[in-house]
Amino acid sequence: MTKGQGGWIRRYRAAPEAGVQVVCLPHAGGSATYFRPMAMALSPTAEVLAVQYPGRMDRVDEPYAGDFEELTERTFAAVRREVDRPMALFGHSMGALLAFQVAKRLEAEGVLPLALFASGAQPPGRSLTRHTHPPTDEELIADLATLGGTDERLLDHPDMRVLVLSALRADYRILESCRRDDAALACPVVSLTGDNDPVVSVDDAAAWANHTADRFDLHVFPGKHFYLDDHWAGVSTVVTKHLGAHEPTRMG
């Protein structure tokens, strides 16, 4: 595993011969390691660059981003610094909203991503937060139980419990500052979701069609919010298929 400059990017399976890079952005409370299975599955066809947000894992001593705009700008800067080939963006849950904003920034600079893959997320024009006040530990733990994706045994260890809940609370606060956005990207959008997601309906996932002026596709997998855990191979097949369908393009 290698780091990118500044500590934002993780390469769990370097693929210098790959013609495409896929930038993966984690969910609220998540870390870059979540995308290790995708890195293994896509290599050597595509190289995965997983974003590590500050304040977690090996960046635990760094402060969390102050708000969604700061997280967007710093992530965008890391992507521009590290990406050196045609690229796509893949974000899960909060990461999908962040990927959307990073794609907008790229397109504003004349760089058209091959695609935006929005996984397990309501589109950016919808309600973004699950709480209207700073959530308690009990509310956060209830969310983790509802959504899955976190080994609940971690919460049995006081130090790990603090780290897990602190990251999730910080990301919820960041999401509260995320503005509604009805813009449409110039690049294709592919929406992926679980058919039994308790917070994102299939109709919600389909509404991402309003956020592209290009092609839109919807892929529904069996499962809940973290359907990916049981379908990394299928998700990677979807990504490979869509990357192969679009030629690299540069705008302007």
DSSP string, 17-74: T-SEEEEEEPPTT--GGGGHHHHHHHTTTEEEEEE--TTSGGGTTSPPPSSHHHHHHH
Tens-digit pLDDT profile for residues 150-175: 666 667 677 888 888 899 999 999 99
Q: Which residues contact 44 (CB under 8 A, 6 or more apart)?
A: 15, 17, 18
Q: Which of 28-42, 158-172, 229-243 has the lowest mean pLDDT?
A: 158-172
- Residue 62 and residue 167: Cα distance in Å, rounded? 12
pLDDT at position 142, please?
A: 87
- The pTM of this model reads 0.91
Catalytic residues: 93, 225
Domains of the chain: 2-250 (3.40.50.1820)
Q: Are 187 and 163 in contact (CB under 8 A)?
A: no
Query: What's the maximum distance between 2 C-alpha atoms anywhere in the chain?
Result: 53
Q: Which of 10-19, 156-165, 194-203, 207-216 has the lowest mean pLDDT?
A: 156-165
pLDDT top residue among 39 and 138:
39
Nearest residue to 23 (alpha-carbon basis) of 109, 111, 110, 108: 111
For residue 44, is the peptide bond before it cis, meaning its omega torsion is within 30 degrees of 0? yes
139 CB burial (10 A radius; 0-12, 13-18, 19+): middle
